[in-house]
Structure 1
Amino acid sequence: MSSWERLQEVVEKSGLSINAFALSIGLKRAENLYQIRKGNHEISRELARKITAKYPEINEAWLLTGKGGMHERETLSASKKIPLYDSGFEDLRMLPDEKASIEPLYYIEAPTLSGGDFATICYGNSMEPDIPAGAIITLKEIDPSAVLPGEMYLVITSNYSTVKCVMDVAGDAEKFRLIPKNTAEYGEAIINKSDILRLFLVKGVISTKVL
């Protein structure tokens, strides 16, 4: 499926014309969308983010790559509050399973961070300055096959859980590179994709400044 075919599905789902759809996602005009229809451009990451900010049920990875399905979990809409857990990453092996016994601390409502399944507190500093220690991160579970290289993910294995930028390994389709932002204190690691139990895209970061 081409970029335009995916984009066309989203436009048709919105019930808007191309021009009206462009305005709905914050574009001043629809020229970029018409260029995609002509085959001159692909869907950019910036455009995908504009679309998913307005329509959070749309899968950003599917928009960009065609991998996975068009829809993410529609039960968690932009208007719904996101549960915040403070149980450590290890407990996320079962969250947000409906059978999980862990209760959220409370619920947060942040329209600009829509599209997340839930939120938790990141205590480590390996992703500073992007994610300061103690920041709240909102997360959406995805399939490892839908990874967008360079984005930040919470990676959970049977041995450890960590937030890192995830990149492909050149020449080895079975592995990922886990890259920290704080390279002064942390090094890069290589992981087998088969070792991943769950994978969560970091959709947003909420940090506070201590005065």
Structure 2
Amino acid sequence: MVSERIGLYIEKKHISYYAFENSIGASRGSISKAVKDCKSIGSNVLEKIISVYPDLNPVWLLTGEGDMLLDRDNEDGVNRYYLKTDSTVDIQQVPLYNAEAVAGIIPLFNDAKQTQPIDHIAIPNLPKCDGAIYVTGNSMYPLLNSGDIVLYKIVDDIPNSIFWGEMYLLALTVGGEEYITVKFIHRADKEGWVKLVSQNPDHQDKEIELSAIRALALVKASIRINAML
């Protein structure tokens, strides 16, 4: 059943039904209900899903044959993450920062104008970005590798501006220690808490108080450099 396979894809991508429905312009609850009740999904919606999620194999989606995900690399080496409301910029110079040199992303986000970037990145037709930093760790592998670059848009009103299920760069304080990480943010069962979800299945999800997030930015794109050794 096509709706069942859509549910498997959403589960594989670790995104919420709300974020998925929002990204394709579907009404809230329409996809989750279709998956739950094994109902058919209109061809216009399927076309939108395939256009928004180019890694989804349309043959698998429609017939169940082959692999769920297409093995395809972007020609320019950039993975782009678009929201339905994103508008792109023809060309922009995105500053690349060394987060360690400025003692984390909190001071960087608070006053980026006072921080000297180590370089600038110019990529056409991206959503507006505030900056870029290198990723460390493997919690988002294989979507992100340690050493990849993420381009981000700063979130100023953290409690009211989270798109559930999307990928974020965040600084958080847990047990008196400060951490910088990239995670999907999902709703938690407890009021005032959120769930941080990794792409790497070896990393467990973690629920934290929303107030523990000290700085937040929506990941708009990532860059991976593949070098021959």
TM-score of the two chains, using structure 1 as the length reference:
0.61
The question of 1:49 aligning with 2:61 is answered: no
Asked if residue 164 in structure 1 is aligned to residue 198 in structure 2, the reply is no
Counterpart residue type for residue 193 of structure 1: L
Cα gap change, 1:99/1:119 in structure 2, threshold over 3 Å: closer, same or farther? closer
Over aligned residue pairs, what C-alpha RMSD do you find? 3.1
CA–CA distance in 1 between the matches of 2:92 and 2:115?
Answer: 20
- What is the CA distance between 1:207 and its match in structure 2? 0.5
Matches within 5 A, 1:91-130: 91-98=104-111, 101-130=114-143
- In the other structure, the counterpart of 2:94 is 82
* Counterparts of 1:168 and 1:50, CA distance in 2: 20
Query: In the alignment, what sits opposite 2:193?
Result: 175
- SS at the partner of 1:108? strand
The one of the two structures with greater contact order (alpha-carbon pairs below 8 A, sep at least 6) is 2
Aligned to 1:28: none
Q: Partner of 1:153 in structure 2?
A: 168
Q: In the TM superposition, what is the alpha-carbon distance from 1:80 to its structure 2 partner?
A: 2.6
CA contact (8 A) 2:169 2:182 kept: yes
2:68 matched residue in structure 1: none
After TM superposition, give the deviation of residue 97 of structure 1 in Å.
3.9
Count of aligned positions: 150
Instruction: Name the counterpart of 1:137.
Output: 150
Structure 2: gaps spanning 5 or more residues: 1-23, 28-47, 53-81
Shift in CA distance, 99/207, structure 1 to aligned 2, threshold 3 Å = closer
The alpha-carbon distance between structure 1 residues 194 and 51, as it changes in their structure 2 partners (threshold 3 A), is closer
The runs of 4+ residues in structure 1 deviating greater than 6 Å are none
Partner amino acid, structure 2, of 1:156: A
How far apart are 1:183 and its partner, in Å? 1.7
Instruction: Compute the displacement of 1:174 (Å).
Output: 0.4
Q: Which residue of structure 1 lines up, in the alignment, with residue 11 of structure 2?
A: none
Secondary structure of the residue aligned to 2:146 is coil
**Separation of aligned partners in 2, 1:147 and 1:209:** 32
Amino acid at match of 1:120: I
The SS at the match of 1:173 is coil
2:218 aligned with 1:198, yes or no?
no
How big is the shift at 1:137? Answer: 0.3
- Give the share of equivalent positions with the same residue, in percent: 27
State the SS of the aligned residue for 1:94. Answer: helix
Displacement of 1:78: 4.9
Structural mapping, 1:57-76, within 5 Å: none
